[in-house]
DNA sequence: AGCAGATACTTCAAGCATAAAATTTACAGG
DNA sequence: CCTGTAAATTTTATGCTTGAAGTATCTGCT
């Protein structure tokens, strides 16, 4: 920290590197939105469902004993109120059921119904195929490299103060 | 197409590669949402605005002569009705103005107001700093590699039938 | 026991997003 | 001129998303 180190200035100036990073971010966003859009399309057109519903079902699929509302919220990193609405709809569709929790009347356990489990298992397999199709140009090596870089970025962002 | 080529089967089976691609997609989505979340946070907390508004202003900033509603919709790849709402709010905030188009009374030209232009210029510089900060762990070489891969993926997705 | 604070969830208001229907204007052909 | 079709935008219905406020329940402390 000698020679008057500019703590803030470093992030504020526009260098070639910062422009490259901005460009990278824009590409990342573009691909992410494109893939997400295609997936949403297929979920809607072929299965009358949505990505948020799929995400909730996926979380529940991995937890056969069920998850609390708060557990879903934490797993998916979305707000509590959001989960309420999505689970409401899934419950009406019969894919999920709310179960009173034994020792705590505040909490609700959410579980896949048998029908929900069957439907999701089939859908998940199809989903993997869609992704495989969309990312078809990426070989195993490139995938591994990308994953490593992305995990490094994620770790750095997580670390940098939450909320 | 000889020897009974299985056109569909290739995408449907779950191989190690397809699992790697699924994993890649999940990481991509995670990073994208994390970065996007941070940017939204800073826009909201520091500037009382949102990413969609920012995106519209950015598109208009690049087009000093203005853009039609449909032009914005196409540039940002969002629906027409969506643009209507966002421009409504930006107009109320005085950052943007709707101008009747000379030869065609169906169309409306949207332009940044002088105030909108000034505010956006400052905000865009700050935005670049935020991204630089969030992607700080990525050097020039890694960025170039990632960008190349992402562009290949994007090209492949675009090509695969629109709408 | 009683109460203060924390926890789990729902409700609410606002904004973003889409697809589909409706509205207005333009234009081409008879 | 008149009619049908296309184009640009807005409106409508529905759903996702957040942050903030509200309700019920639980827990720890005195």
The string of DSSP letters for chain B reads --S---TTHHHHS--HHHHHHHHHHHHHHHHHHHHHHHHHHHHHHHHS--HHHHHHHHHHHT-TT-EEHHHHHHHHT--HHHHHHHHHHHHHTTSEEEEE-SS-TT-EEEEE-HHHHHHHHHHHHHHHHHHHHHTTT--HHHHHHHHHHHHHHHHHHHHS---
Are the C-beta atoms of B106 and B98 separated by less than 8 Å? no
Q: What is the 3-state secondary structure (H, E, C) of B107-118?
A: CEEEEECHHHHH
Residue B142: its pLDDT value, please? 87
CA distance A45 to A55: 17
pLDDT band for B159, please (50, 70, 90 cuts): confident
Give me the residue from A36, A135, A149 closest to B21, CB to CB: A135
Q: Return phi, psi of residue B103, to 5°.
A: -90, 0
**Contact residues for strand D with beta carbon within 7 Å:** A 50-53, 77-82, 85-86, 89, 103-106; B 41, 68-71, 73, 80-81, 83-85, 87, 98, 104, 106-108
Q: In terms of CA atoms, which chain A residue is nearest residue B139?
A: A17
Bridge partners of residue A98, in order along the sequence: A110
Nearest residue to C17 via alpha carbon and C1':
B82
Q: How many Cβ contacts (< 8 angstroms) between chains A and B?
A: 177
Domains of chain A: 32-136 (1.10.10.10)
Residues of A in contact with B132 (CB under 8 A): 11, 17-18, 21-22
Residue A158: its pLDDT value, please? 80
Residue B12: its pLDDT value, please? 56
CA distance B162 to A132: 18
- Give the rounded percent of residues in chain A with a pLDDT score beyond 90: 73
Closest to B69 (Cα-Cα) out of B86, B52, B94, B45: B86
Residue A72 predicted with pLDDT over 70: yes
Contact: A77, B33; criterion CB under 8 Å: yes
Contact: A157, B34; criterion CB under 8 Å: yes
Residue A162 predicted with pLDDT over 50: no
Residues of A in contact with B151 (CB under 8 A): 27
Residue A32: its pLDDT value, please? 95
Helices (H) and strands (E) in chain A, counts: 7, 3
pLDDT average, residue stretch B132-148: 89
Residue B96 predicted with pLDDT over 90: yes
pLDDT average, residue stretch B12-23: 84
Are the C-beta atoms of A146 and B149 separated by less than 8 Å? yes
Residue A4 predicted with pLDDT over 60: no
Residue B144 predicted with pLDDT over 70: yes
Contact: B153, A138; criterion CB under 8 Å: yes
Q: In terms of CA atoms, which chain B residue is nearest residue A76?
A: B30
Å between B150 CA and nearest CA of chain A = 6
Bridge partners of residue A117, in order along the sequence: none
């Amino acid at each position: 920290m000698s020679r008057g180190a500019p703590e803030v200035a470093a992030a504020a100036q526009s260098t070639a590197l910062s422009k490259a990073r901005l460009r990278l971010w824009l590409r990342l966003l573009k691909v992410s939105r494109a893939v997400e859009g295609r997936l949403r399309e297929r979920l809607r057109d072929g299965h009358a469902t949505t990505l948020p519903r799929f995400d909730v079902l996926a979380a529940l699929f991995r937890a056969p004993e069920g998850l609390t509302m708060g557990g879903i919220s934490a797993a998916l990193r979305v707000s509590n109120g959001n989960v309420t609405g999505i689970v409401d709809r899934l419950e009406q569709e019969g894919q999920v059921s709310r179960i009173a929790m034994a020792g705590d009347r505040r909490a609700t356990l959410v579980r896949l119904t048998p029908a929900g489990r069957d439907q999701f298992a089939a859908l998940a397999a199809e989903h993997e195929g869609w992704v495989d199709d969309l990312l078809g140009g990426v070989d195993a090596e490139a995938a591994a490299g990308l994953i490593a870089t992305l995990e490094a970025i994620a770790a750095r962002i997580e670390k940098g103060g939450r909320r």
